[in-house]
Chains A and B, each alone.
Chain A
Amino acid sequence: MKIEFTLNERPVRVDVAPMARLLDVLREDLRVTGTKEGCGEGECGACTVLVDGRAVNACLIPAIQLRGAQVQTVEGLARSERLHPIQQAFLEHGGAQCGICTPGFLMAAAELLHREPHPSRAQVREALAGNLCRCTGYQKIVDAVAEALS
């Protein structure tokens, strides 16, 4: 099945099975590998991307739903050399350790900050509850998101 959609503001075309996972379309077909797989069943959030501005688990989205969609991944966060404020905040606060969960957290956080530029710590924790991190204890991730735009 041929599908056209927008990936990080560039039009792309792929020929994939209708039920192929968005995660595989990105990683295997388009070789855009910033989006990670941690569980393959919607539990860890490592595969979080934005589809039409909403944070979703790419391991649960079939290709057939992508027709005409705007997909944004971690590769699309920075504007050329300038990091997105949430990326900068993760660097400064130490929000990334092993980094495997980081792209997913960044995308979930980007969606939150778009909705709510100055979230409370409780709001941050709620918004990130679908993303698992085993390295940080979340403290520095919550710090980074809560203070990214302040």
Chain B
Amino acid sequence: MSASTLQPAPQTPPALALVGQGVVRTDGHAKVTGQALYVDDVRPEGCLYGATIRSTVAHARVTRLALHPDDAAAGVVLVTAADIPGENVVALMTDDQPALASAYTKHVAEAVALVAAPNREQALAAAQRAVVEYDVLPALFDPEVSRGHEIRLFGADNVFSHLTIRHGDATGAFANPPAGSRVVEGVYRCGHQEQLYIETQGMIATPRPGGGLTLFGSMQCPYYVHKALKRVLGHTDFNVVQAVTGGGFGGKEEYPSLVAIHAALLALKTGRPVKLIYRRDEDLRATTKRHPMRARYRTLVDAGTGRLLAAEAELLFDGGAYNTLSPVVNSRGAIHALGPYRCDHAVIDALMVATHTPPNGAFRGFGAPQAHWSAERHIDRIARVLGLDPLAVRRTNMYRDGDRTPTGQVLRDVGIGIVLERALERAEKPLPPRLAATRPGGGGPAARLVPSRGLALAWHGCGFTGNGEAALKGKADVALEGRDVVIYIASTDIGQGPETIFPQIVAETLGLPLARVRNAPHDTAQVPDSGPTVASRTTMVVGGVAQKAARKLRDALAAEVGFDGDFDRMLAARKSTANLRVQAEYTDDGSLVWDPKTYQGDAYPAFGWACVIVDLDVDADTGEVFYRRLVQATDVGRAINPVLCSGQLEGGALQALGFATSEELVLDAQHGMRNNRLTNYIIPTALDAPEMETVLVEIPFAGGPFGAKGIGEIPHDVPHAAVAQAIERATGAVLDRLPMTPERVLAALDTAAEPSA
């Protein structure tokens, strides 16, 4: 009952043998039989166990660092920054983050030193009772205070990134408001969110018999790890291999570099394989989160229709103690800040500031879920202030073909109207029955449940911003090996499906059965750099490169045998049995123009479009929200594999519902995560999750393989905003801050109940 495919009438794509088929994932059998090997399932001969000594304060000089005498006597190995052969840095966008903060720490739970011991318990105990003494320094936790503060975290002013997008003349528009216009202002906030992959971070470093190291572990981006390790080791005598990875969502984009560095340092010092697996509480406390945001919107609107005439949006993100990928989050947040709505005069100002909080980093959506929250809440505010229907205000403002975005990009094939209609159609189906509510505290037979519905709209730029792809030149190899074809890519499967989708694309292109095409292991010794597995780019961008490589392979084979025809006939005519391997890299037609200095031009090669409709009940006594159904209609370009595609959309949407109502980080005095357990950081269960209806709309993107667009992030962009609208519609409670916990809902209900001010 979940997914179906709808195509806009004029563009019905041809039926293909493999593309568009929900074939069973190629790694499925190993996963349902327990044979898939995740990093912790592997134990090399003679393996030691690593653990991390972490700072307990937010900002301090480390004055003493030593093992507990019993551990030292027992032969536990200690590794500090002094053991680093190369540079003490985690190389990423900037070089501000040390691999080990052995002398000076800028956030709680930062890795100060490492230990290795023959078993896990011993290693963990040694890390726990190691002696670390601090000279504590004052810490900055509020980005508004930190900006320009004399305590330096980053650069001259503690700003990781500041950018301004100017479109039209907003100042002029506000200065000369037309008759019948009105100013609407609002402030919107989001808290941290944890990716919460169910497999914690983990890595094994193994000395290779002939010298050098192999890193094997849970990750999204083998070449990020490679780049970082090269600087720490001072050489490239190592390879990085992805293990089957138990979820990422951005949380395994940049962070595994640190885990790999640590495992490598321990293996170097001990000469033995070392396994480093984070405990859940440690993972939650130490690893990156979604960036909290505070946003201020001021718009000039037509009072009769709610049409946006001018907008000023200020986004302020808390980056945490190190830069990580925060400037990219700031950028994507800024570009998506007005949602899928046209506004001809806009200034968007986005600021990413450093604080002494554990670094925030990549998380599905990369700033867009926060930006959409503000945009959608603001549209609802406009409707409320003007006494208009929120859907009508959306229809008035949503993009149409030929409209310009704030970066000046002219939009083509805008899908927002189609996804809106498809979602509304699907939402006419009767609702599923309420679950017999057995949860304590709410939903019982006496509960005052108020049913309601909310709707929100999203757009999402697919792939890297601007000239990112052209600069990166992601590569893919395709090789004929015997009668089979092997794809060599660095793009990893973290659940989303490239182990299946890439063979589907290549097999379809070559006219081969799926069983004869497979991905090679994602080992930097074997695969070229395809770019990272991020930014909704894997299928759309790298998939396109793989398709190009497949065509090149066909050409090479045709040249070898002297004719171009059926793949197997060419194969039969082949005299050589040698492997035939070709490489392709990303190029585009150069029609995208982007100026990173002014933030003007074509921000993305393609946009995805989505409409989300959430049906829920609000418990008016407890403030709890119970989800009944979530309908989403999403323009996916072309669903290479509709089962995997809708699976991504459903998972992303539920993650956003967690962001909406239950997932909240409670910070302690040092700004460490206090609720760092699954008992108190609450993600949705099968009982909390709504039934989902997922409509795949296909407006093909000419630059993607078979028309595919990226879809990994867009489902996380607006379900939380739809929830807020539903709560407001049911109860009058206005919530502009995430998460909308029962306490906040009750507080907003109280405010709503007060005689109108």
Interfacial residues, chain A to chain B (CB-CB below 8 A): 27-28, 31, 33-41, 43-44, 46, 73-75, 77-78, 83, 87, 90-94, 96-103, 106, 121-122, 124-126, 128-143
Contacts and interface: CB of A to CB of B under 8 A. Distances in A.
Interface footprint category on B: 35 or more
A99 B33 contact: no
A5 B89 CA distance: 50
Interface in B664-695: 677-679, 683, 685-687, 689, 691-692, 694
A135 B438 contact: no
B196 interface: yes
A128 B686 contact: yes
Interface stretch (B35-43, B286-294, B411-419): B35-43
B678 A41 contact: yes
A122 B198 CA distance: 24
Nearest to B42: A33
B197 interface: yes
Contacts of B199: 36, 38, 98, 100
B443 to A, nearest CB: 13
A147 to B, nearest CB: 10
Q: Which of A43, A87, A137 has the most CB of B within 10 A?
A: A137
B279 interface: yes
A76 B654 CA distance: 31
A145 B142 CA distance: 47
12 contacts: A34-B34, A38-B280, A75-B33, A83-B33, A94-B644, A124-B686, A133-B686, A134-B655, A137-B653, A137-B654, A139-B692, A140-B643
A144 to B, nearest CB: 10
Contacts of B643: 93-94, 140
A78 B679 CA distance: 33
Contact of A92 (B24, B31, B650): B24
A100 B198 contact: yes
B475 to A, nearest CB: 25
Given A36-B199, A39-B280, A99 B691 contact: no
A125 B687 contact: yes
B468 interface: no
B686 A131 contact: yes
Contacts of A93: 643
Given A97-B647, A98-B199, A100-B247, A129 B495 contact: no
Contacts of B195: 134
Contact of B198 (A28, A38, A128): A38
B28 A132 contact: no
A129 B686 contact: yes
B433 A44 contact: no
Contacts of A106: 32
Interface string B635-654: 00000000110110011111
Contacts of B280: 38-41
Contacts of B646: 94, 140
A143 B2 contact: yes
B22 A142 contact: no
A35 B29 CA distance: 15
B690 to A, nearest CB: 9
B249 interface: yes
B691 A136 contact: no
Contacts of A37: 40
A138 B195 CA distance: 17
B244 interface: yes
A40 to B, nearest CB: 6
A93 B651 CA distance: 14
